[in-house]
Amino acid sequence: MADKLIIFDTTLRDGEQSPGASMTKDEKLRIARQLERLKVDVIEAGFAASSNGDFEAVQSIANAIKDSTICSLSRANDRDISRAAEALKGANSARIHTFIATSPLHMEKKLRMTPEQVLEQAKQAVRFARNLVSDIEFSPEDGYRSEPDFLCRVLEAVIAEGATTINVPDTVGYAIPELYGHFIKNLRERIPNSDKAIWSVHCHNDLGMAVANSLAGVKIGGARQVECTINGLGERAGNCSLEEVVMAVKTRRDYFNLDLGIDTRHIVAASRMVSQTTGFVVQPNKAVVGANAFAHASGIHQDGVLKARDTYEIMRAEDVGWSANKIVLGKLSGRNAFKQRLQELGVQLESESEINVAFTKFKELADRKSEIFDEDILALVSDESVTAEKEQYGFVSLFQQSETGELPRARIVFTVDGQEVRSESEGNGPVDASLKAIEAHVKSGAEMVLYSVNAISGSTESQGEVTVRLQNSGRVVNGVGADPDIVVASAKAYLSALNKLQSKADRVAAQG
């Protein structure tokens, strides 16, 4: 019988640590619901002790999600662990993931602790956590750059204290597949009680090898859990990508001989949801979820695929949920059809009033755009004005004028804590004028570090999706806005980024 490979998704924790990818509680809950539909085994919902917002996000996910194990990260101290346990109280199945760095560099320079102190703290943390929850994961941070002898002592000790999963992070993405695979194998062979825990891999993508390293950890090292994120989201070059690792194991079952619980038909929807929520656009040639992943532009390839699909395709597009550019709804679609499509897309709005707001927005959009695609619906429900979450700034209306040879002008109406304000400005172009008009009133002083526009469903008739990345006082946030008018989409994205700058003020960094 084949072993099962556990898929541990950390989009909402490690993915969210990526500068600009921070998500609100409602956004996290929506993504968690999609991960549950995907049948992810473990969802790392956040780092409960890092902020009140993250605590509430972990708590609401633990209360709402019933089919996946819900996990919270915590540093190896009693306070963090207690916060994690408290946030996880409502979960059907809860896991605490505690970690402490074990590499010489991290212990000396970051923690300023001796190896013996680190060993004691790791044991104490697992012992403490074990009294609160039975499912305990331990990670030696920067594990791959740790001294193997010391690492063996730490891991043997935490297993003896009751850790049920041992995760070996390649925190800085330094590993090479064969070496990482043997590193895990060696640890498992040397540690006498290694069979009492499930072994897990956690690889960062700094050298572009996170997926290859994770697969080597599974194949050579015998790991049976992979930690990954949707679209490979994560700090710096990101984490191991869920869709790639899952489809590699599924497509090459002949080689891996492992079972997966994942319902791969929801992969593309999950990818779009994460991209639209965070503003991290998926590159067209990204494996599995990129727009070109199943497109056959060359005549030779098209001819081959038409004669026999497997001449050039090793996976079926529909198996990962590509039904893109299918017109799903139109102007005449009713509330029930809209509600059903939301359900099929894995979007659960919290209340009837949210559904009503979303449906009104859908009708407005359908009046302006004859064909409505899944991407449009997802963008529409990502709009902050649909969710109950009270935001400081909200878009109302925009007028802008531009003509060749004239300086463009914009006049915008938006809400600040529910009160309408009007502001106007000139600018280099209509987008510039509109954002300057907002800034003239708000005076955030934030620096714009990225502005990008993407056509949601590919043509000029489609909605424009704009990402604005703002930086202020050391914090970076992404705002996303969608509208058939890209100037309006830009204003929405700017206001969304301002809201995020407001809401994520005090946060403890996970690995700081």
What residue ranges bind ligand KIV (CB under 6 A)? 14, 99, 139, 141, 169, 171, 202, 204, 510-511
How many other CB atoms sit within 10 Å of the CB of residue 501? 22
Cβ closer to Zn ion: 96 or 446?
96
Q: In angstroms, what is the minimal distance from the CB of 242 to Zn ion?
A: 14
Q: In angstroms, what is the minimal distance from the CB of 492 to ligand KIV?
A: 32
Dihedrals φ, ψ of 398, to 5°? -145, 135
Q: In angstroms, what is the minimal distance from the CB of 99 to ligand KIV?
A: 4
Interaction partner, residue 391 (ligand KIV, Zn ion, none; CB < 5-8 Å by kind): none
Cβ closer to Zn ion: 163 or 240?
240
Dihedrals φ, ψ of 93, to 5°? -140, 115
Interaction partner, residue 185 (Zn ion, ligand KIV, none; CB < 5-8 Å by kind): none
Q: Candidates 14-22, 186-194, 266-274, 397-405 — which segment interacts with Zn ion by CB under 5 A?
A: 14-22
Contact 217, 258 (CB under 8 A): no
Q: Is 14 in the site for Zn ion (CB under 5 A)?
A: yes
Interaction partner, residue 99 (ligand KIV, Zn ion, none; CB < 5-8 Å by kind): ligand KIV
Q: Is 161 in the site for Zn ion (CB under 5 A)?
A: no
Q: Is 137 in the site for Zn ion (CB under 5 A)?
A: no
Q: Name residues whose C-beta falls within 8 Å of residue 272's C-beta, 6 or more positions apart in sequence.
A: 374, 375, 378
Element of type H or E holding 127: helix 115-130
Q: In angstroms, what is the minimal distance from the CB of 218 to ligand KIV?
A: 17
Q: In angstroms, what is the minimal distance from the CB of 483 to ligand KIV?
A: 36
Closest by Cα among 270, 177, 277 to 231? 270
Torsion on CA atoms 323, 329, 335, 341, rounded to nearest 10: 0
Question: What is the identity of the amino acid at 128?
Answer: F
Cβ closer to ligand KIV: 95 or 202?
202
Q: Candidates 13-21, 158-166, 344-352, 366-374 — which segment interacts with Zn ion by CB under 5 A?
A: 13-21
Contact 489, 458 (CB under 8 A): no
For Zn ion (CB under 5 A), the number of binding residues is: 1
Residue nearest to Zn ion (CB): 14
Closest by Cα among 54, 138, 127, 58 to 97? 138
| DSSP state letter for 204 | B
Query: Helices 52-64 and 78-87, interaxial angle, to 10°?
Result: 40
What does the binding site for Zn ion look like in residue numbers (CB under 5 A)? Answer: 14
